[in-house]
Structure formats: C-alpha cells, structure tokens
A and B are shown apart, each in its own frame.
Chain A
Amino acid sequence: MNPETAKFMAIAFVMGVGTIAPAIAIAIIGSRSAEAMGRNPEAAPKIQTAMILALAFAEAIAIYGLVVSLILKFVE
C-alpha cells in the first residue's frame, strides 16, 4: 500500500467510524423529542430549543471527524 492510498483509506475510515456514534445520538434525540412533543404538544417550543441544542452537541462529534479528514485531504 503506497502512502497516497493509505491517506485516502485514513480519510474514509475517519468519516466512516467517526459518524457512527453521532448518528446513534441524533437518532435517540430525535425519537425522544418527537415522543415528548407527542405527549405534551404545549411544550413543543421548549422541547424544540433543547432538541436543537442537543443535536448540535451530537453533531459536533461528527464535525470534529470531518475537520480531521478535511485536514488530511487538503493539507499537503
């Protein structure tokens, strides 16, 4: 395996493995907040704010992976 191939493998690996946990987290946040909004529609705006904040935290983990892979890709 030459260095160029190893680099592309590393980029794909970072994105592939790094997005598993955020995907699970976002799924849990989405399903639970939909459930909460269904049970108590009056509280929907508050739940939405909390949901978006939590989504951003979960998404940030994937974004860190993305930054690492972008650095691997575009920095010579």
Chain B
Amino acid sequence: MHISLIAEKIFTIAGWPITNSLLTAMIVVGVLTVVSVVAWRRFTLVPNMLQSSFELLIEQFLDVMDSVLGDRHKSEKYLPIIVTIFLFVMFSNWFGLLPGVGPIGLMEHGVVGEHDRLVPIFRAPSADLNFTIGLAIISILSVNILGVLAIGFWKHMSKFFTLKNPIYTFVGLLEFVSEFVKIISFSFRLFGNVFAGEVLLTIVGFLVPYVVPLPFLFLEVFVGMIQAFIFAMLTLVFVAMATSEETAH
C-alpha cells in the first residue's frame, strides 16, 4: 500500500510539470464549462431538466445568501463567485470518488533497490495542497477586492491600518494577520478533509474489499458536499464583512 502526500508528476508540457491533481482539476473545469454553456445556449421560457436544476440551485443559493447579506441586490451581485467556488470544489471532490480515480495509472520503474510503483493518472484535486492554497488565495484576494470596490480603497484599508486610537491600531493589525491565517485555515481544512477521506477509503478497501467500504464512500460524498458548502459560505461571510461599512465606531 503506497500513499503519496504530494501529487505526482505524470508528464510535462514545454517544461511545465503536469501533476495528476492538475489534470483532474482541468477535466473538472472542462466538464463544468461544457455543461454551463449547454445550459445557457438552450435557455427557454419553459425550462427543461438541465435548466430547472440550475434554476433550483441558484434560487436556493440566493435564499441562503439573502439570510447572510440581507439584500437581494447584493446577493445577485456576489452570486457568481460564491456558486463558482461551491460547484468547482464539490465536483472536484466527487470526481475523486469515481471508480478508476486512483487505481488507473502508469507503472514507474523504481531506482535500483526500490519496488516499481503505480503513479495514478487521476487524483482528487483537493488532495493536493497546491490546489487548496491557490483556491484560498483567490477567495481571500477577491474578498478584499470586492471590499475595496464596495466601500472604497481608503475605507477598506482603514480596517487594517488606522491611527485613530491605539486599541484600533492593534485590532487592525490583528485583522491584517488574520487575513493570512484565513488562507492557511481555508486550505488546510479542505486538504485535510479530502486527503484523510482518500486515506480512509484506501485503508478500508484493503481491510475488507466488499460491502464494508460503502458507508465510508457515502460519508465521503457527504463530506465532499459539506466542505464545498463551507468553503463557499465562509467566503460569503467574509465578503459580507468586507463590503459593509463599519458603523460601530
């Protein structure tokens, strides 16, 4: 049994190493793009199956966002980034659970004294720390950019750097540090959950190959959705905090 913490390189394009996680993430992006374009092209007054499911998803998300932002106009404005994060993370996690992700791979001949080992072609994207850190940086950057766009550069910056009062200066510096802590906590939460799920499924599969892994597989489907929802919801809460002006002072 071999478990690799880092994503393995499978081939290179013009000197750029392509890891199996990156390849899987690109496939997920491609599938999502094609499905969205198909749903958007066949936009009709009487919705078909695909359009109805998209409309249901968007309605549900708008309701959830209303309860956080308190304003339908704001919800519609920030819907794209939140739902994109949710769909991308959820389908990435679910893609990692498909049969064939993991067992199918290329044999790599080991150096003298080592065993040959299998390098999987596909790997759940979130089981690679680079993916989750990248997503977390995108999320926090967009939170700050949306904050600047909503209330202005100086007002947004005065949340972090202010000389009005020594206490606010200190609190502002803590806020500034916590922006970086958010990136770490975002990325490690997603990575830890998904990678732990992979390890759990591998180990249970080795212990009892039939029937017993089923509940664990179901648990992983649930965890994949919940983690995507949490990633999106936390981004939403941070957007809500960044785009509202401080009135308490």
Name A residues whose Cβ lies closer than 8 Å to a Cβ of B.
46, 49, 52-53, 56, 60, 63-64, 66-67, 70-71, 74-75
| Complex: chain A residue closest to B63, CB-CB | A45
- List 12 interface pairs A-B (beta carbons < 8 Å), by A numbering: A49-B233, A53-B230, A53-B234, A60-B188, A60-B192, A63-B189, A64-B192, A66-B192, A66-B196, A67-B191, A70-B195, A74-B5
| Complex: chain A residue closest to B229, CB-CB | A52
Q: Considering only CB atoms and an 8 Å cut-off, how many residues of chain B contact the other chain?
A: 20
A53 touches B233 (CB 8 A): yes
Known: A60-B185, A63-B189. A74 touches B3 (CB 8 A): yes
| Complex: chain B residue closest to A67, CB-CB | B192
B138 at the interface (CB under 8 A from A): no
Helix, strand, loop or mixed for chain A's interface? helix
Q: Which of B47-95 contact A (CB under 8 A)?
A: 64, 67
Name B residues whose Cβ lies closer than 8 Å to a Cβ of A.
3-5, 64, 67, 185, 188-189, 191-193, 195-196, 199, 226-227, 229-230, 233-234
| Complex: chain B residue closest to A49, CB-CB | B64
How far is A66 from B229 in the complex, measured between Cα atoms in Å?
A: 21
